[in-house]
Structure 1
Amino acid sequence: MERGRPVGELDPRYSSEGAAALDWERARSLLVAAEVFWLSTVRPDGRPHVAPLLAVWLDDALYFCTGPSERKAANLAANPHCVLTTGCNSLGRGLDLVVEGEAVRLADDAALRFVAASFETKYGAPWRFDVADGFFRSGGGTAVVYRLAPATVFGFSRGEEYGQTRWRFR
C-alpha cells in the first residue's frame, strides 16, 4: 500500500538557478528499476561500513538481504539506522538517491515468499530464494531479510541543471 506521495523540497544551496524539485514518481521509478544499491551501516565501535547489494522496492519500502553472520547483519542488530543509495557514476547526467531509515527484520514466511518472488522477478532465476523459518534459503545458505521504509530520501540530479530534492515521510 502506498503511503502517499511525498512532496519534494528543493534545496537552493545545492541546486542550479531555476531548478525545480523533482517529482516523487521519478525517484520511485528509479528505486524500482535500480539493480545495485549501496548499504551504509555503523559498526558497534562507530566506524562506518558500506557494501553493495541487491534490493527490491515494494509497498513503499526497500527490501534487501544479507547472511546472518555478515558484518551488515551485526551492524543492523546493534543499530538499525542505515542508508541505501543508488544512482549513476556519471558527473554530467543522472540521478542519485539516498534513502535514510531504520531497517526492520522481516521474518514472516508469507511476507518473505512475496519478497522472494519479487527478487526472482527483478533479478532472474539465479536470485530465486526458498523461504523457511523466517529466512531466505538458497544453495545451502540462509539470509536475513530487512525492510527499509524511508524516513527521508534525497535526490541529487545532474546534467544541464543540478538539483538536490528532499522528500520526507511520516
Structure 2
Amino acid sequence: MREPEGVLDARYSSPGARARDWAEAERLLTGAGLFWLSTVRPDGRPHVTPLIAVWQDGALHFSTGPGERKERNLAGNPHVVLTTGTDSWTRGYDLTVEGEAVRVADDGRLRELAAAWEAKYGPSWHYEVADGHFHHGPGRALVFAVRPRKVLGFGKGEPFSQTTWTWDG
C-alpha cells in the first residue's frame, strides 16, 4: 500500500495548523486501545459498538462472533467506519478510518493476527486458530480486515486541524 499524503482542510483548521504525516497516524492506530465500529443495519439504521482492533500490514483488524449484530450487518453491507481517539476537546488526536470489511479466513494469517492481538492486549486475548476462526474458550470469532479508503484525522486543542488521507480504489 502506498503511503498517502495528508491534505489539510483549512476550513476546519486553525491558522498555522499543518497536515499530519501518515506515519504519525499509523503510530496512533497501532497504539490505540479502543475503537468504535460503525456498521449499517439491513433497514438502513446505523449500529455503533466499541471493540478492540489491531493495525497490521496496512489494515485494521477486528473480530466478532458469528450471528452478532455487527456480523449480520456486514453480511449485507461491508462498508464501515472505525473511530478512535480521546474524549477531550482540548487535547489529543482522533482518527476515523473508512473502508470495506473483508473476512480473513486463512489460518496462517489468523495465527499472525492472534499473536498480534495477544501482544497488544495481553494473555486475556489469547486465541487458538482453526477452520478460519479465532477460538477462545467455548466461542469462536470471525476476523475482518479494513484497508482504509479514506482516513480523517482531527487535531484537538490549538492548533485545531483536520487532515485527510485517501487511497485509490
TM-score (norm. length: structure 1) = 0.97
State how far apart, in whole Å, the 2-side matches of 1:133 and 1:91 are: 44
Gaps of 5+ in 2: none
Q: How does 1:14-33 map to 2 (within 5 A)?
A: 14-33=12-31
Q: CA RMSD in A?
A: 0.6
Ranges of 4+ aligned residues in structure 1 off by more than 6 Å: none
Aligned residues between the structures? 168
Gaps of 5+ in 1: none
Q: 1:158 — aligned with what? A: 156
Amino acid at match of 1:53: L
Q: 2:2 — aligned with what? A: 4
State how far apart, in whole Å, the 2-side matches of 1:19 and 1:92 are: 15
Q: 1:142 — aligned with what? A: 140
Q: 2:118 — aligned with what? A: 120
Q: 2:67 — aligned with what? A: 69
1:17 Cα deviation from its structure 2 partner:
1.2
Q: Deviations over 1:59-80 (max 9, x none)?
A: 0000000001100000001000
Amino acid at match of 1:146: F
1:4 Cα deviation from its structure 2 partner:
2.5
